[in-house]
Amino acid sequence: MDVELPRYAIAGHNWTFWLGWVWTISSIIVTSWVVMQRRSPVSTLAWIMVLNMMPVIGLAVYAYFGPQRVKRQRLRRWHTRAALMSQRDLERLRAHRPDVPAWAVQHARLIEASCGIPISSVQSIDILASGGATLTALLRKIAAAEHHVHLEYYIFEPDQTGTLLLNALTEKARAGVEVRLLVDGIGSPKLLSRKHRQLVNRFRDAGGEFAVFHPTRLDRLRPLVNLRTHRKIVVVDGRVGLLGGINVTDDENENFRPHDAYRDTHLLLRGGAVRWLQYVFLQDWRYANGKPPRSEHEMLPDVSPGEVPVQIVASGPDTDGEAIHRAMIDALNMARERIWMATPYFVPTEPALLALTNAALRGVQVKLIVPERSDSRIVTAAARSYYKELQAAGVLIFEYHGRMFHAKTLLVDQHYGMVGSANFDNRSFRLNFEVAAAVMERDFNQGLAQMFEDDLSHCKLVPTDRKAPAAQYVFEAVARLGSPLL
């Protein structure tokens, strides 16, 4: 006897049938699209796993957040760079090449080949170990400025620190000095909000120029999470420059938050290498602002060569060079005695992890400082998922206790040090616009080593038999799966 199925059962069957087909077709398209981007296998597999869990909308998600959109940004920035400076200006920049130490010749060549910036030199370099010290030095240099002040920041908060700095910039602009401030659209939302518009308008009314890197607009969704300028750059009169990890915020200023301000590191440079820092800023300014600054030719003054070899390293998704990524890996491979590294976010790429463990396995002393707890629980968990294999290779891992640890430094043997804005993670290596200074000199290395040892006094060595609840280990393992996307 024939049994007639209820209509709702047939409708339900058709609904699940077509949903299954849509899911399958969407999965095939998304997977093929991701594979054809020819990115790293780990990152590709991570995207495939995530996007196949979101049928139909996977294509839209990848279209806005996937790596293939970098090509459009790269093309725009290439045109910007091509029109940035005259050949004469670039020749002036390359005119003074110091003698490169024999051990660093190939390293310097690698950096220049990957980002186009040759080795230079400075007359002096100061290590600034706190936000308060950095702000003091910055205000002093701004007060002495005669021609221009250029600033580029990921985070510029309109709090006590930011207001103090912006007031100083406003007064300098009113005095006739050319002042330009570039902030990131995601990193500085409060400064860009209506509530603080008056503060920015007062700066502009005084003659200051203001620009936003990838502003957050509904027609530009991708930059909401990727393609940020994470750089912290200050250039005064083309002769004095600051760079490092310190943003403009009370969170990193111990004068306003004495008990919990971030522990961070910045550099103050004087000399020829500052002109290359200027070059990086001018690229970003013209890209974000759409037009060159006035009197651009006066922003690259002739500077007497110094005694300290320094190479500015700039990287970002506008090129395939991955200059900071390559420079760090090459520096790790050069190490014969020691590698002392500090980073707030440790989510290494496979090549970076291999270079670090290789160094430890060949007998190099490798010490790593990370925060006990960063400002991202997922990143902290992902970082801890690497502890076991690092320790198995002989790496000593120290967790900084108390305040948030935000310094980004690398020290190799007795003559090499790097300080900049880049974390030791995929986002800094491949998605953010970053900048660092590679310094090839013993005295700087010793100063960086002393600071590292001071930080160790606030750390605890992570035991090789680290105990944690089973749920924590599971969370760390899951967080690691997403590490290529963090």
Q: 59 is written with which tokens?
A: 């294509």
Contact between 250 and 158 under an 8 Å Cβ cutoff? The reply is: no
Predicted local confidence at residue 221, as pLDDT: 46
Predicted local confidence at residue 224, as pLDDT: 47
Predicted local confidence at residue 480, as pLDDT: 76
Predicted local confidence at residue 39, as pLDDT: 60
Q: 97 is written with which tokens?
A: 């090449």
Distance from C-alpha of 22 to C-alpha of 26, rounded to nearest angstrom = 6
Shortest CA distance to 243 belongs to which of 452, 450, 434, 449?
A: 434
- For residue 39, give the amino acid letter: R
Is the sign of the CA dihedral 215, 349, 283, 38 positive or negative? negative
Contact between 166 and 278 under an 8 Å Cβ cutoff? The reply is: no
- CA distances, 198 to each of 1, 170, 190, 454 (Å): 81, 12, 12, 42
Predicted local confidence at residue 374, as pLDDT: 80
Residue 238 falls in which region: left (phi positive, over 0), alpha (psi -120 to 50) or beta: left
Distance from C-alpha of 265 to C-alpha of 436, rounded to nearest angstrom = 12
Longest dimension (CA), the chain: 101
| Third-level CATH fold of 323-485 | Endonuclease; Chain A (3.30.870)
Distance from C-alpha of 106 to C-alpha of 424, rounded to nearest angstrom = 22
Predicted local confidence at residue 289, as pLDDT: 85
Q: Looking at the domain covering 72-95+124-305, what would its CATH class be? A: alpha beta
**pLDDT, one tens digit for every residue, the chain (486 residues):** 555 545 544 455 566 666 667 667 766 766 765 665 556 665 666 666 666 665 555 555 555 555 544 555 665 665 566 556 666 666 667 767 777 889 999 999 999 999 999 999 999 999 999 999 999 999 999 999 999 999 999 999 999 999 999 999 999 999 999 999 999 999 999 999 999 999 999 999 999 999 999 887 644 444 445 688 999 999 999 999 999 999 999 999 999 999 999 999 999 999 999 999 999 999 899 888 877 777 666 788 888 888 999 999 999 988 889 999 999 999 999 999 999 999 999 999 999 999 999 999 999 999 999 999 887 788 888 888 999 999 999 999 999 998 999 999 999 999 999 999 999 998 899 889 999 999 999 999 999 999 999 999 999 999 998 887 888 877 777 777 766 555
Distance from C-alpha of 474 to C-alpha of 283, rounded to nearest angstrom = 44
Query: What 3-state DSSP class applies to 413?
Result: coil
Contacts with 101 (C-beta within 8 Å, 6 or more apart), sequence order: 309, 415, 440
* Cα atoms found within 13 Å of the Cα of residue 335, Cβ hemisphere only: 29
What one-character DSSP code corresponds to residue 44?
H
Packed helices 105-115 and 323-334: angle between N→C axes, nearest 10 degrees: 170
Shortest CA distance to 309 belongs to which of 416, 198, 155?
A: 416
φ, ψ (nearest 5 deg) of residue 66:
-75, 165
Predicted local confidence at residue 68, as pLDDT: 46
User: Which active-site residues does the annotation give?
Assistant: 230, 232, 237, 406, 408, 413
Predicted local confidence at residue 227, as pLDDT: 80
Contact between 93 and 287 under an 8 Å Cβ cutoff? The reply is: no
Query: What 3-state DSSP class applies to 291?
Result: coil
Contact between 306 and 121 under an 8 Å Cβ cutoff? The reply is: yes
Distance from C-alpha of 34 to C-alpha of 481, rounded to nearest angstrom = 17
